[in-house]
A = this chain, B = another copy of it.
Amino acid sequence: MLRIIAKNFIKPEQTAKAESLFRELIAASLEDSGCLEYRLHKDAAEPGLYVFIEEWADRESHAKHEASEHFKRLFPQIGALAAKPGEALFLHDEVKGKK
């Protein structure tokens, strides 16, 4: 089990371009082996803040995702639209709560 919370801080004037790239990344990543969740959220309170909530079957499937053509191609393009580096939290253990 691997759950990831990944924040992206996109320049407000670049959000439309970033969302186009995000959509392409999401569509491809949902087909990656071991991808259990790959959802992108934003909050009106902080323009440019995009938060991925992901779940991967294991570390290996996430590593393969990061080595995929779509990730290696799109992630740098999204990074070029960022106001500052992103932040990621990797959670390897679940206490309880699946519904």
Contacts and interface: CB of A to CB of B under 8 A. Distances in A.
Interface residues of A, number: 34
Contact of A97 (B38, B45, B97, B98): B38
Interface of A: 3, 5, 19, 22-23, 26-27, 30, 35-45, 50-53, 89-99
A95 B42 contact: yes
A2 to B, nearest CB: 10
B30 A97 contact: yes
A39 B97 contact: yes
A36 to B, nearest CB: 7
Contacts of A26: 95-97
A22 B96 contact: yes
